[in-house]
Structure 1
């Protein structure tokens, strides 16, 4: 190989290495942002659940959590719009095993859009108690849409569960929420619960998925100890 050819080859390798380094460096801030945001979601979920658990307007929440197969906590769901509306937010899913032990949290997002005569804005703190294996399986398969599947009934949303339903769990999912602000108009039908793969990978490591976190229990984190204890 001539000196000129050798220099050209070295230059190509150097440029290729520089390009790879640039791509790798560019991905680091995104990963760091996801990790920081995931930790913030977990911290806010813990704080919100502890607050709602002792809220006198939600007296049945603790009992429903005790009988639940899984729990989803969304510390901040934002709903608003004019004519075209939407709702969304990030939260966590924890699953209880047969011994009553709660899993590490998997990160999820809720997103919905609605069209109709509507105006205003609202922020909600929401806890969903998942009462059946069928509903949990639908969530894990990213196939859960609120109000869209007849087999996945959603219980009362608002201050709590009506007394007439507390003797038996007729719905697969019950929602407990605390709302701030005013919002009038069409409700968001077919709200989807979708795994936040970016948050899960950033928090637990590349390739971490919801089923491995909450069912196979391949991952653990001391950052969720306070929340798991609060759920008992």
Structure 2
């Protein structure tokens, strides 16, 4: 290869790198915004009097936060949202977040569009870590139920907590017939690679130490304060 051709190739590679750099930064910024939005949702849930009961929080080993689940349709509906998943470690601390997506469809009496802030509480961390590269269906692979309400309500002490996953949501907009049964959860490996770098799969992220971003620090603090 002659010198001039080598120079042209080097310049072309440099141009591509320069052009892709803003796109990569913008993509990483989107994931940071998702983390920030998840932290706000969790903080708001923590301030609500009628929120997740302490009796459930004591046995919680995993959580998924979807800041914006869009639910829309007319007779035939669909839902999609992007969020984060975290698991509780053996020492009681919370892991770094793995990015997830939730998608699903439904048929029935429904009309309109709705934006939902969604929190899914898992009794066992293995239910989240077992997703791996595939996905699972809520109501199919895992039992799901609307979570009991009342942070300090004595009525919750008798709640059986038989389901594996409990859902909590706050709606914005109008919709009838919302349901999470049949919705599919899977890891967003593309988002993980953008935020953490290639080679960091869900298992490595859950096991990683240190907070990769200030938003993660805030989320962990919120989870620790939810008692």
Task: Bin the TM-score by the shorter chain.
Answer: 0.7 to 0.9
1: CA distance, partners of 2:150 / 2:138: 17
| Stretch of structure 1 that moved more, 35-44 or 107-116 | 107-116
2: CA distance, partners of 1:209 / 1:34: 18
Q: CA 1:93–1:133 in structure 2 vs 1: closer, same or farther (change >3 Å)?
A: closer
2: CA distance, partners of 1:165 / 1:81: 38
Q: CA 1:108–1:156 in structure 2 vs 1: closer, same or farther (change >3 Å)?
A: same
Spell out the pairing of 1:21-60 with structure 2 (5 A cutoff): 21-60=14-53
| 1:54 positional shift | 2.1
- Among 177, 201, 217, the alignment partner of 2:208 is 217
| Stretch of structure 1 that moved more, 196-205 or 167-176 | 196-205
Moved over 6 A (4+): 158-162
Give per-residue Cα distances to partners, 1:103-136, cap 9 Å, x unaligned. Answer: 1111111122334553201111111111124422
Quote the RMSD (CA, aligned, Å). 2.8
SS in 2 for 1:76: strand
Spell out the pairing of 1:1-232 with structure 2 (5 A cutoff): 9-60=2-53, 62-116=54-108, 118-149=110-141, 152-156=142-146, 163=155, 167-185=159-177, 187=179, 189-214=181-206, 216-217=207-208, 220-223=211-214, 224-232=216-224
TM-score, length-scaled by structure 1? 0.81
TM-score, length-scaled by structure 2? 0.83
Q: Is the 8 A contact 1:78 1:121 kept in 2?
A: yes
Q: Is the 8 A contact 2:121 2:167 kept in 1?
A: yes
Q: CA 1:36–1:158 in structure 2 vs 1: closer, same or farther (change >3 Å)?
A: farther
Q: Is the 8 A contact 1:122 1:183 kept in 2?
A: yes
Segments of structure 2 that go 5 or more residues without pairing to the other structure are none
Segments of structure 1 that go 5 or more residues without pairing to the other structure are 1-5
Partner of 1:3: none
